[in-house]
C-alpha cells in the first residue's frame, strides 16, 4: 500500500506531466481534468489523494465503488465515476451511489439507467463509451451505432451527456494510439460532444495532444495496483 506522501508525490508528478503536455499543445492546464483511477487502492490511499487536492475518482466495479463511497462519505467534495463495465441490474446501485457513468455503451443500458434515475429524481452524468479501435469483445458502442445512442441519451432528461470515453487498443506504437484518440475527437466534433475522457498513465500526453478533456490515471498516481485485474 502506498504511503500518503507517495500518493501526494505521484499526483504532483502527474499534474506536472499534464501541465507540460498542455503547454506543448497550447492548451490551458485547466482544460484537462484529472480522474484518479483508484480500483483496488485502499481507502487510505484515496484519502491521501483527496488531502492532496484530488476530487474526481474512478472505480471499475460497482460493489467496490459503493463500499468506498460509504466509507469515504465524509470527503464531501469527492466525485465518483464508474469507469468499468455496468450491468443493467446494477443501474439502481450506481444511481444510489450518485456517481457519473463513463461506460454507457448500449441502448438497453441507457434505458435502464434513465428509468432508475427518473425513479430516484436525480440526473446521472454520463459519458458514452466508444469501441474506438473496433475490437471484438471490447466494451463500447460500435461507431456505427453511436448516433442512435447519443440521440437516446440526449432525449432522456434524467441523463446528462458529459462526453465520449474510449480506451484505444493497447499498442507499443504511439502512432496507432494517437490515431485512436484522434478518432474519438473527430467523433466528438461530428456529434457536438465537447467532453473527451481518454488517456491513462502510459499515454496521457498523446491524449492531451489529441484533445482529451479528462485523463484517467491510476498507476502513475498510486503506484502498481495491489492486486492484478482478473
Among 7, 110, 117, 167, binds ligand PLP (CB under 6 A): 167
The cell numbers describing 82, all together, are 464508474
Minimum distance of ligand PLP from residue 227's CB (angstroms): 12
Residue 82 pairs in a beta bridge with: 59, 101
Contact 25, 207 (CB under 8 A): no
Closer Cβ to ligand PLP, 40 or 158, answer by number: 40
Q: Is 217 in the site for ligand PLP (CB under 6 A)?
A: yes
Among 33, 118, 201, 209, binds ligand PLP (CB under 6 A): 201
How far is 91 from 206, CA to CA, in rounded Å? 33
| Burial call 49-70: b when 16+ CB within 10 Å, e when fewer | bbebebebbbbbbbeebbebbe
Nearest partner of 187 among 210, 156, 169, judged by Cα: 210
Q: Is 216 in the site for ligand PLP (CB under 6 A)?
A: yes
Which residue bears the cell 504532483?
A: 12
Nearest partner of 54 among 64, 63, 41, judged by Cα: 41
> Which 107-136 positions form the footprint of ligand PLP (CB under 6 A)?
none
> Which region among 12-20, 25-33, 49-57, 194-202 touches ligand PLP (by CB under 6 A)?
194-202
> Which 34-73 positions form the footprint of ligand PLP (CB under 6 A)?
37, 39, 60
Closer Cβ to ligand PLP, 16 or 148, answer by number: 16
Which 8-state DSSP code applies to residue 145? G
Minimum distance of ligand PLP from residue 120's CB (angstroms): 25
CB atoms within 10 A of CB 175: 8
Closer Cβ to ligand PLP, 66 or 158, answer by number: 66
Closer Cβ to ligand PLP, 52 or 158, answer by number: 52
Q: Is 81 in the site for ligand PLP (CB under 6 A)?
A: no
How far is 215 from 48, CA to CA, in rounded Å? 19
What are the residues binding ligand PLP (CB under 6 A)? 37, 39, 60, 83-84, 167, 200-202, 216-220
Amino acid at each position: 500500500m502506498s504511503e500518503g506522501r507517495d500518493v501526494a508525490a505521484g499526483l504532483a508528478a502527474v499534474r506536472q506531466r499534464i501541465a507540460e503536455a498542455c503547454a506543448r499543445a497550447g492548451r490551458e492546464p485547466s482544460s484537462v481534468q484529472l480522474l484518479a483511477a483508484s480500483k483496488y487502492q485502499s481507502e487510505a490511499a484515496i484519502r491521501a489523494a483527496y488531502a492532496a487536492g484530488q476530487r474526481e475518482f474512478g472505480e471499475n466495479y460497482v460493489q467496490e465503488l459503493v463500499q468506498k463511497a460509504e466509507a469515504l462519505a465524509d470527503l464531501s467534495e469527492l466525485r465518483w465515476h464508474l469507469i468499468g463495465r455496468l450491468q443493467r441490474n446494477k443501474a439502481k446501485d450506481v444511481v444510489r451511489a450518485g456517481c457519473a457513468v463513463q461506460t454507457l455503451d448500449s441502448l438497453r443500458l441507457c434505458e435502464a439507467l434513465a428509468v432508475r434515475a427518473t425513479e430516484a429524481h436525480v440526473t446521472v452524468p454520463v459519458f458514452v463509451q466508444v469501441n474506438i479501435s473496433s475490437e471484438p469483445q471490447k466494451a463500447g458502442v460500435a461507431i456505427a451505432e453511436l448516433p442512435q445512442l447519443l440521440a437516446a441519451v440526449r432525449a432522456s432528461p434524467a441523463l446528462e451527456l458529459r462526453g465520449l470515453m474510449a480506451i484505444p487498443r493497447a499498442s507499443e506504437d504511439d502512432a496507432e494510439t494517437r490515431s485512436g484518440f484522434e478518432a474519438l475527437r473527430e467523433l466528438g466534433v461530428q456529434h457536438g460532444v465537447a467532453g473527451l475522457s481518454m488517456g491513462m498513465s502510459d499515454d496521457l500526453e498523446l491524449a492531451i495532444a489529441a484533445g482529451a478533456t479528462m485523463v484517467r490515471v491510476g498507476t502513475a498516481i498510486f503506484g502498481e495496483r495491489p492486486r492484478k485485474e482478473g
